[in-house]
Amino acid sequence: MNARQGAARARRVLAVIASALLITGLTTGTATAASAPDGKFCVVEVGKSVDGGFSPVKSETCSDDPASPAFTAAAAPDVLLMEWFWNAHNNPPNLTRIIVSAEEGPCDSSGYRLRPNLIWDNEISGFYTYSNCRSVSIYDGYSLDGDGAYWFDGRGDGPNVGYVGDRMNDRTSSLWIRY
């Protein structure tokens, strides 16, 4: 084996390892669910980020029925921060709700740094925010980097963006929501 063949083999091995890590959700610092959830209506409970890192995913519940107890009960006493829409203006409906426990409260200045799970990565077409999440930044990079867009609404709970626009549609891989 010559040097060129050895280098090509090493790249293939690294590509296989990297793919395995992405598929299992084991990348360092990720708040991504380890596997794709069942159902198109999901509730994801996150926690406060530590030291400016990504918010940990505490639980994820999904259902094909938006009226199911699994979907509606998951958000009962908790604080709703955000809803992601698969389709512009959530038509036809397919959404994920991002919640936190009542103890962790609404958005504040440090906010929540999020990575969509394997189903939602590069699939967000619109979103609504709640609970004082007045500032939203979305990025096509996994570490709040790359091409992005920003929305701010200082009058209400936060921006309601039915459609993120042609430039960012289906390109969101990380988000930062905050007061």
Span 84-93, pLDDT tens digits: 999 999 999 8
pTM: 0.76
Q: Which of 62, 88, 84 is nearest to 75 (CA)?
A: 62
Residues 6+ apart with CB under 8 A from 176: 111, 112, 113, 114, 135, 136, 137, 144
Q: What is the pLDDT of residues 98-144, one digit of tens each?
A: 999 988 889 999 999 999 988 889 999 999 999 999 999 999 999 99
| Residues 15 and 88 reside in one and the same domain | no
Q: Domain residues for 147?
A: 31-178
DSSP of 32-73: --SSPPSSSEEEEEE---STT-PPPEEEEEEES-TTSHHHHH
Which pLDDT band holds residue 150 (cuts at 50, 70, 90)?
very high
| Residues 38 and 118 reside in one and the same domain | yes
Q: What is the mean pLDDT of the chain?
A: 80
Q: What is the CATH number of the domain that holds 153?
A: 2.60.20.10
pLDDT at residue 75, as a whole number: 63
- Give me the count of residues in the chain: 179
Domain count across the chain = 2
| Residues 130 and 155 reside in one and the same domain | yes
Distance from C-alpha of 160 to C-alpha of 127, rounded to nearest angstrom: 6
